[in-house]
Structure 1
Amino acid sequence: MSAFQTALPPTAGATDRGEFRYHLLRAAGERFQAGVADLDEAQLAEVTRQARRTFELEDLVLGSAEARGLVIPLDQVAAAVAAVRGRYSDTQEFRSDLERNGLDLEGLHLALRRELTFDAVMQRVGSRHAGVDELEERLFYDFHQERFTVAERRTARHLLITVNDEDAESRRDLVQARIERLAEQVRGPAGGRTQRFEALARRHSQCPTALEGGRLGEVVPGQLYPALDAALFALGAGDLGGPVESELGFHLLLCERIQPGRSIPFTQARPQIRALLEERARRHCQKAWIGGLRQGAAGSVAKPPIDGIRFDDSPLGEQAA
């Protein structure tokens, strides 16, 4: 398979080159969802600072021993270019936008090759992390129980009549009396309560759910207005709640079913915990390695530190803070 050899020379100070323009373009898209040519002066200054940080970090990593001899296949670079090209309707639009942002196809190829090399080096370094054992997994599970809890859910229906004091028939007192009469009709015998609520909601409710007989579906705590939320989660299965007043008007709520909250057992949560802890270990390993590179660079060349960088899931493995 054809491939690029990626023992790339240092590029410090080459911020007028296509590789750096790519960092600018990416930073502009991430920060302002715009091209470089569309930024105002303040935005361009911010994007330039961010691009310098990520470009200098890329330089640092590509100059490391771990990057020497690393081969990026040509088809991998071509796929990355095609992914960028795929964001445009045609080739002319693609090339024109590159030009508007100070790039050409050759510069894009080189920038993406550097990015893929950076990514490969970081993966190689991250793979050196110490393994995760069961004790660590269990400790994480025990100290983060809230992450492994499924919230209580309630299947509910809803009926709303809105208040509008400018409309003589929708004054607050009249609406309140009307919804109380509807509540009495729903209550009746427990048998058939859902059917009665559904029929009344279709006929009287001013909520879009009226089309489905007031059906809200499954609701978790915090999903509704606070007053409605409190009323619903105080009901038993089959109970009617309300009238409840909100800024919209008066509401009735019917709790059809309750699915109690539950804890996810450790055995079920363990694969997710292991993946999270391994990723965290990889990040720590990468961060420590970069720290060593910086110390080595500081000892050989006077160069300002690369500040404001934090790890996340960006294509470069790090992101300007």
Structure 2
Amino acid sequence: MSSERLMSDGDSRYYLLKVAHEQFGRAPGELAAEQHEQAARIAARQRQIEEAVLRSPEASGVVIPAAQVEEAWASIGSRYAEGELLQALAGHGLDAAGLRAMLANELKVEAVLERVCAGLPEVSETDVGLYYFSHLEQFEVPAARVARHILITINPDFPENTRESARARIEAIAKRLRSKPERFAEQALKHSECPTALQDGLLGTIKPGTLYPQLEACLFELAEGETSPVLESPLGFHLLRCEAVQQARRLSLEEVLPRLRDSLQSRQRKARQRQWLASLLQPSAPVENQAHG
């Protein structure tokens, strides 16, 4: 029997297993009743679409090489220890031959969808330019800051982290940095109680809406190379250093051209595929009964 075949009723277990893991990260038997019903509906819809694609005229002559199926099989197998994949399949009433057949079907559906897009015109630079100038708001980059910070937490369960002790510790660090601000990274590595201490306190590029409001407001007022006063958040006390200022700007057409062209090309392909699938799945109009009346 060819591995490229239409689905049988027994194959529904494969689709249900796949959807359960994709949607809920669990096996079908571990799903709640409502989740199981949802997964079953999605799986049934997927089967309906795949069957329609495989029966379509466009699928005629599409052959998936056995090596491509084996590559897909090996990709799945790489997620399991040796022998565990076969055990997992058996636990759901499936076997290697059935899974390979399903993989062949999926690969064939993908190939048919690629065939449907054959002949689509390439997105030109003019097309990209028209989209860019019609959607300038999509290419606005907000202001940002590259920052480091030092955190001393407040925790009354530890004497060195009571509010008074934590404040005294951060003030001592701030005093040292006022005379030698270039030592901020060193002080962060030595004293900060944030995981970023291992990166010398580097927070990275901070965009609006990332930090606690009181920290963010101060950071965006700092000049490059400037250190903040002691700041407080629900976590404790902070010192911030602005490493670099990135002003708000609009990405140029030249900057976005390659990626935007790929995006528009992909959007065009998906639109063609959706249109084709919709026509494929649309039921035939009922023939009017001319004999009555």
* Common topology (TM > 0.5): yes
- Contact kept? 1:154, 1:258, Cα under 8 Å: yes
- Contact kept? 1:150, 1:263, Cα under 8 Å: yes
Structure 1 residue 55 corresponds to structure 2 residue 42: no
Q: Given the alignment, which residue of 25, 35, 42 partners 1:33?
A: 25
**Amino acid in structure 1 at the alignment position of 2:42:** Q
**Amino acid in structure 1 at the alignment position of 2:58:** E
In structure 1, the partner of 2:152 is 161
Q: Given the alignment, which residue of 182, 185, 196 partners 1:194?
A: 182
- Contact kept? 1:37, 1:100, Cα under 8 Å: no
In structure 2, the partner of 1:312 is none
Question: Mean Cα displacement is larger for which, 122-131 or 165-174?
Answer: 165-174
Q: Secondary structure at the match of 1:71?
A: coil
- Contact kept? 2:146, 2:206, Cα under 8 Å: no
Deviation at 1:108, TM superposition (A): 1.5
What CA distance in whole angstroms lies between the structure 1 residues aligned with 2:47 and 2:198?
56
Deviation at 1:81, TM superposition (A): 2.2
- Contact kept? 2:226, 2:241, Cα under 8 Å: yes
Deviation at 1:238, TM superposition (A): 2.5
- Contact kept? 1:28, 1:36, Cα under 8 Å: yes
What CA distance in whole angstroms lies between the structure 2 residues aligned with 1:39 and 1:129?
42
Question: Mean Cα displacement is larger for which, 222-231 or 268-277?
Answer: 222-231
Q: Given the alignment, which residue of 79, 90, 93 partners 1:102?
A: 93
- Contact kept? 2:149, 2:203, Cα under 8 Å: no
**Amino acid in structure 1 at the alignment position of 2:97:** E
- Contact kept? 1:5, 1:69, Cα under 8 Å: no
In structure 1, the partner of 2:108 is 117
What CA distance in whole angstroms lies between the structure 1 residues aligned with 2:222 and 2:91?
61
**Amino acid in structure 2 at the alignment position of 1:98:** L
- Contact kept? 1:128, 1:285, Cα under 8 Å: no
In structure 1, the partner of 2:255 is 268
The one-character-per-residue Cα deviations of 1:26-78 (angstroms, maximum 9, x if unpaired) are: 10110121223433433322211111000001011111100112111121122
- Contact kept? 1:37, 1:101, Cα under 8 Å: no
* TM-score (ref. length: structure 2): 0.82
What CA distance in whole angstroms lies between the structure 2 residues aligned with 1:94 and 1:208?
38
What CA distance in whole angstroms lies between the structure 2 residues aligned with 1:199 and 1:106?
60
Structure 1: gaps of 5 or more residues: 302-321
In structure 1, the partner of 2:225 is 238
In structure 2, the partner of 1:307 is none
- Contact kept? 1:29, 1:35, Cα under 8 Å: yes
- Contact kept? 1:244, 1:252, Cα under 8 Å: yes
In structure 1, the partner of 2:75 is 83
* TM-score (ref. length: structure 1): 0.76
Relative to structure 1, the CA distance from residue 300 to residue 36 in structure 2 (aligned partners, 3 Å threshold; closer, same or farther) is: farther
What CA distance in whole angstroms lies between the structure 1 residues aligned with 2:157 and 2:96?
64
5 Å-filtered alignment, 1:1-321, equals 8=5, 14-15=8-9, 17-18=10-11, 20-91=12-83, 93-145=84-136, 147-164=138-155, 172=163, 175-176=166-167, 179-180=170-171, 182-188=173-179, 192-195=180-183, 197=184, 201=188, 205-209=192-196, 215-216=201-202, 218-221=204-207, 222-295=209-282, 297-299=283-285
What CA distance in whole angstroms lies between the structure 2 residues aligned with 1:170 and 1:89?
46
Relative to structure 1, the CA distance from residue 286 to residue 207 in structure 2 (aligned partners, 3 Å threshold; closer, same or farther) is: closer
Deviation at 1:180, TM superposition (A): 4.7
Deviation at 1:113, TM superposition (A): 1.4
Relative to structure 1, the CA distance from residue 292 to residue 207 in structure 2 (aligned partners, 3 Å threshold; closer, same or farther) is: closer
**Amino acid in structure 2 at the alignment position of 1:43:** Q
In structure 1, the partner of 2:290 is none
- Contact kept? 1:98, 1:104, Cα under 8 Å: yes
Deviation at 1:277, TM superposition (A): 0.7
What CA distance in whole angstroms lies between the structure 2 residues aligned with 1:21 and 1:29?
12
Number of aligned positions between the proteins: 286
What CA distance in whole angstroms lies between the structure 2 residues aligned with 1:38 and 1:146?
45
- Contact kept? 2:49, 2:281, Cα under 8 Å: no
What CA distance in whole angstroms lies between the structure 2 residues aligned with 1:278 and 1:287?
14
**Amino acid in structure 2 at the alignment position of 1:102:** G
- Contact kept? 2:145, 2:242, Cα under 8 Å: yes
The one-character-per-residue Cα deviations of 1:154-189 (angstroms, maximum 9, x if unpaired) are: 34332333334566775546654664565455335x
Q: CA RMSD in A?
A: 3.1
What CA distance in whole angstroms lies between the structure 2 residues aligned with 1:112 and 1:118?
10
